[in-house]
Amino acid sequence: MRFRSRITGTGSYVPEQVLTNFDLEKRVDTTDEWITERTGIKERRIAGEETTSDLCLEASKRALQAAGVKPGEVDLIIVATMSGDMPMPSTASILHKKLCAKNSGAFDVNAACSGFLYGLSVADNFIRSGAMKRILLVGAEVMSRFVDWQDRSTCVLFGDGAGAVVLERTRGQRGILSTHLYSDGNMWDYICLPGGGASHPPTAKTVKDKMHVVKMKGNETFKVAVRTLEKLVTDTLKENNIRPSELAMIIPHQANLRIIKATAERLHMPMSKVAVNVDRYGNTSSASIPIALDEVVREERIKKDDYVLLEAFGAGLTWASALIKW
Ligand code: COA
């Protein structure tokens, strides 16, 4: 039988500092009522001195401990992030040093909010091919340093955090059954951070023009997200010959509770089978799925042999899914 990859350990970490909707009411023209009703978010975490690799480190230690794997036993470290410590080197390389890992490779994946599932697909394929045995995959963001704290349409949405998984080679029936990656670059400008790259290298003008913060066409993105995710989840189940009623849990990217509910309704899934943490952490981009996964694992809401569906949508535009037999 061919190789498969299985998640053998999960871990997550969020910074201590809590920023509530009421705190935001004092900064911008918004209300707790508007944010709660339009997004489902009540509060989010904000990194103080910590960097993205610091968040990665804490989440990774917990995932490695849960898997019973030492950093030196990992073949590859992948960090999914769009808010890494610096453009070069990768945050994965900085994490490599902080973890005292040994001969593993290390690189970052950037597919914005879909980043963790893109990373999962890469890791799964390295293991399936037989090239690697153990991979540490982390989704981590310090979004709070890349939002305009005067723009009420974006600053209320995002938060900081990290989640990690250890994937190991297996030959059994359990593990990652399939991963699915998509994008449509025609809508790249729906969500972007235009400054700081080769198109607009940092200058006093790019700073003055606020080009180093997230810009989003929220309403347009919302409509595409709902439509796209509906098709994504039904196609993923169809390809695996699984009925929605056979799913034990959906772990969606946490951008907006209305989007999460719309996808659950499409599958006739009760919200008790849907992982939600957007109320507590906001949109933590590539960290949101691994944080939510770690929570449901530690709360024992999924058990051996359960079917679990992961799905995400984000800048690019990108979208992705994974079906797991736990
Ligand atoms: N507080 C109060 N009012 C606000 C506000 C805030 N924080 N942010 C925006 N508004 C106002 C707008 O100015 C607008 O006012 P107007 O009608 O006078 O122009 C009104 O609320 C409606 O704005 P709109 O952008 O249409 O709201 P919305 O219902 O689409 O909700 C989002 C905004 C961002 C919450 C929602 O569009 C969304 O979640 N989009 C998708 C995000 C996503 O999935 N991203 C992908 C992953 S990152």
Q: Indicate if 177-275+288-325 has the same CATH topology as 4-173.
A: yes
CB 315 within 8 A of CB 286: no
Which residue from 153, 183, 221 has its CB within 8 A of the most atoms of ligand 1, so it is best to mutate? 153
Of 219, 296, 233, 239, whose CA–CA distance to 265 is shortest?
Answer: 233
Express each pLDDT in 216-246 by its tens digit: 999 999 999 999 999 999 999 999 999 999 9
Q: Does residue 71 have a cis bond before it (omega within 30 degrees)? A: no
Distance in Å, CA 153 to ligand 1 centroid: 6
Helix residue spans in 69-114 (DSSP H):
91-99
Confidence band (pLDDT; 50, 70, 90) for 2? confident
Percent of the chain with pLDDT over 90: 98
CA of 193 to the centre of ligand 1 (A): 18
91, 53 contact by CB (below 8 A): yes
User: Rounded to the nearest whole angstrom, what is the distance from the C-alpha of residue 321 to the centroid of ligand 1?
Assistant: 25
Which atom from ligand 1 is nearest to the alpha carbon of 256?
Answer: 39
Rounded Cα–Cα distance for residues 202 and 211 (Å): 9
On whether the CB atoms of residues 321 and 307 are closer than 8 A, the answer is no
Mean of the pLDDT values across residues 179-185?
98
Closest CA to ligand 1's atom 14: 153
Which residues, at least 6 apart from 156, have a Cβ–Cβ distance to it below 8 Å? Answer: 21, 24, 28, 30, 35, 39, 41, 282
Residue 66 has pLDDT above 90, yes or no: yes
**Ligand 1 atom 36: the closest Cα is on which residue?**
218
The verdict on the CB of residue 283 being under 6 Å from ligand 1 is: yes
Which residues are annotated as catalytic? 113, 253, 283
Distance CA 17, CA 218 (A): 26
Which residue's CA lies nearest to atom 39 of ligand 1?
Answer: 256
Q: Which atom of ligand 1 is nearest to the CA of 39?
A: 35
What is the separation of C-alpha 115 from the centre of its chain, rounded to a whole number of angstroms?
6
Of the chain, the percentage scoring pLDDT greater than 70 comes to: 100
Report the residue count for the chain: 326
The CA distance from 140 to 57, in Å, is 10
| Alpha helices, DSSP H, located in 32-108 | 32-39, 52-67, 91-99
User: What are phi and psi for residue 236, nearest 5 degrees?
Assistant: -60, -45
What values do phi and psi take at 282, rounded to 5? 65, -160
36-65 pLDDT per residue, tens: 999 999 999 999 999 999 999 999 999 999
- Tell me the average pLDDT across 259-277: 95
- Report the relative pairing of strands 247-252 and 307-314 from DSSP bridges: parallel
Cβ(256) to ligand 1 under 6 A?
yes
Query: Is residue 292 within 8 Å of residue 278, measured between CB atoms?
Result: no
Task: Please answer whether residues 313 and 190 qualify as being in contact, where contact means their C-beta atoms are separated by less than 8 angstroms.
Answer: no
Question: Does ligand 1 come within 6 angstroms of the Cβ of 258?
Answer: no
Under 8 Å CB-to-CB from 194, ≥6 apart: which residues?
200, 211, 215
- In the predicted structure, residue 149 carries a pLDDT above the cut 90: yes
Report how far ligand 1's centroid is from the alpha carbon of 250 (Å). 25
Instruction: State the pTM of this model.
Output: 0.97
pLDDT band at 102 (very low <50, low <70, confident <90, very high): confident
Give the residue extent of every domain in the chain: 4-173, 177-275+288-325
Q: Name the CA dihedral angle for 137, 142, 148, 150, rounded to a multiple of 10 degrees.
A: 130
pLDDT(1) > 80: no
The answer, yes or no, to whether residue 163 has pLDDT greater than 70, is yes
Any ligand 1 atom below 6 A from CB of 13: no
Nearest CA to ligand 1 atom 32: 218
Q: Which CATH number fits domain 177-275+288-325: 3.40.640.10, 3.40.50.720, 3.40.50.80, 3.40.47.10?
A: 3.40.47.10
Report, in angstroms and rounded to the nearest whole number, the Rg of the chain calculated over CA atoms. 19
Res 294 pLDDT > 90 = yes
Q: Which CATH number is 4-173's, of 3.40.47.10, 3.40.50.261, 3.20.20.70, 3.40.50.9100? A: 3.40.47.10
Contact assessment for residue 162 and residue 202, using Cβ atoms and an 8 Å cutoff: no
Predicted confidence band at 98 (pLDDT cuts at 50, 70, 90)? very high
Compute, in angstroms, the gap from residue 60 CA to the centroid of ligand 1: 34
- Produce one character per residue of 92-107: b if its CB has 16 or more CB atoms within 10 Å, e if not: bbbbbebbebeebbbb
Would the CB of 152 count as within 6 Å of ligand 1?
A: yes
- In the chain the first and final C-alpha atoms are separated, in Å, by 18
278 within 8 A of 256, measured Cβ to Cβ: yes
